Structure 1
Amino acid sequence: MTDERAARLILGLRRQGVTDARVLEAMERVDRAAFVHPQFLDQAWEDSALPIDCAQTISQPFVVGLMTQALEVGPRHRVLEIGTGSGYQAAVLSRLARFVYSVERYRPLLAEAEARFKHLGLDNVITRHGDGSKGWPEQAPFDRIMVTAAAPHEPHDLIAQLKPGGIMVAPVGKAGSQFLHRYVAEEGGTFRRESLIEVRFVPLVDGVAREG
């Protein structure tokens, strides 16, 4: 990791509105280069999304920072992440939360992410190969939920796994019309929703990916 490049990225995120000191510190401490393909190492600290295996992406750092900031993660929180991907977002969350539970539908992606977590000593990330659209009901309710793929409509199954007062950040919509929403769960199964920005994510797909 190049300290100068990391500092430049963090400064850029601050200018774009990611101002939470804990979030910025977590992102500076997590080496994004450890989560990208070797051919993209020269772009690891640029503010851009990059391709990974299984036709997925590692998100743009600004989006990671904005989503993490909106989630308001505390040090005692249990966080559910839908879509492990490269593991970068989970690694950032692990610096902020007590535990991160991460679900991934692509087994090869999950295996690579688990190897990165082990190498980095992130022992508070618990992973599962499964259908992210269903969440992780056995471990619910969660203090926070982050969804890193776009649900085609309001993800009620996931909102139901929040504690009252819990927060979920999720992109919602189809290609060409996706918005990042922030949900706050209330008593009685109701919730409040706030729209943040327009985004572009890979779709949240039901089921697990077929092997081979």
Structure 2
Amino acid sequence: MDFAISRRRMVEQHIKSRGVKDPLVLDAMLQVPRHLFVEQALADQAYGDYPLPIGQRQTISQPYMVAVMTEALQLKGGEKILEVGTGSGYQAAVLARIAGRVYSVERIPELARRARRILDQIGCTNVNVKVTDGTFGWEEQQPFDGIIVTAGAPSIPRSYLDQLGPGGRLVIPVGSLGSQVLMRVTKSGEGRFEEERLLDCRFVPLIGGNGWQNDGT
């Protein structure tokens, strides 16, 4: 396959045509080789607009959702971003093409190791990956200009709100185990929070002390 052609088709047909307009986001999606972040046997499906399994009962998000969530952060370039749920590393790689530094947390060591290897392979030296309970964020590195959560939460953890800097934005799916609403929360300079509902979505559950438990409660 010519992956560059597939990547351009993905951006034109599945992302740009559906309303994503931010040129920084579109360019990042064109740059990142998504086929490297999926199982080798699934590489020919990497640029389809649907999630794919990455092992450990986790998935790589569909490209459109990656683009929508990245655009929702309203990045200008050079920001400090927290990503909760490294997974395959693909979302971190897209963010790294725009932000100055990405801090990504992952609870499953095997996924974190694999993501780190691929991120190194494509030169994403501005991404830090840490194995931890991501529902608590990354307190030592706060404040963040943006926080993006790639798993569905039962409610918005206070830890994320506390770790946002003034003017920062949190993008997070919130709802039940079966379906969520993608929310954007913006923190004002006075410490107030404005919530926006962006779209319906479905993500794997956010597991941890401030999220769902492994038994689904």
TM range (shorter): over 0.9
- Whether the aligned pair in 1 keeps the contact of 2:179 and 2:203 (CA below 8 Å) is no
Counterpart residue identity of residue 7, structure 1: R
SS in 1 for 2:82: strand
List runs of 5+ in structure 1 lacking aligned partners: none
- Cα distance in structure 2, aligned partners of 1:177 and 1:76: 33
| Other-structure match for 1:30 | 32
- Cα distance in structure 1, aligned partners of 2:67 and 2:9: 14
- Whether the aligned pair in 2 keeps the contact of 1:160 and 1:189 (CA below 8 Å) is no
List runs of 5+ in structure 2 lacking aligned partners: none
Q: TM-score, normalised by structure 2?
A: 0.93
SS in 2 for 1:126: strand
| Other-structure match for 1:16 | 18
SS in 2 for 1:149: coil
Equivalent residues in 2 for 1:28-107, closer than 5 Å: 28-107=30-109
| Other-structure match for 1:6 | 7
- Cα distance in structure 1, aligned partners of 2:191 and 2:24: 30
Over the aligned positions, Cα root-mean-square deviation in angstroms equals 1.4
Counterpart residue identity of residue 3, structure 1: A
- Cα distance in structure 2, aligned partners of 1:125 and 1:110: 12
- Whether the aligned pair in 2 keeps the contact of 1:104 and 1:129 (CA below 8 Å) is yes
- Cα distance in structure 2, aligned partners of 1:2 and 1:149: 28
Q: TM-score, normalised by structure 1?
A: 0.95
Q: Which moved further from structure 2: 50-59 or 185-194? A: 185-194
Q: Give the Å deviation of 1:157.
A: 1.3
| Other-structure match for 2:154 | 152
Q: Which of 168, 177, 180 is 1:178 aligned to?
A: 180
Q: Give the Å deviation of 1:192.
A: 0.3
- Cα distance in structure 1, aligned partners of 2:37 and 2:46: 8
Q: Which moved further from structure 2: 42-51 or 188-197? A: 188-197
Identical amino acids, percent of aligned pairs: 46
- Cα distance in structure 2, aligned partners of 1:16 and 1:41: 24
Q: Give the Å deviation of 1:188.
A: 4.4
- Cα distance in structure 1, aligned partners of 2:127 and 2:93: 8
- Cα distance in structure 2, aligned partners of 1:184 and 1:197: 16
Runs of 4+ in 1 over 6 A off after TM superposition: none
1:153-184 CA deviation, whole Å, 9 max, x = no partner?
A: 12221111000110111101112330000110
| Other-structure match for 2:115 | 113
Q: Give the Å deviation of 1:3.
A: 2.3
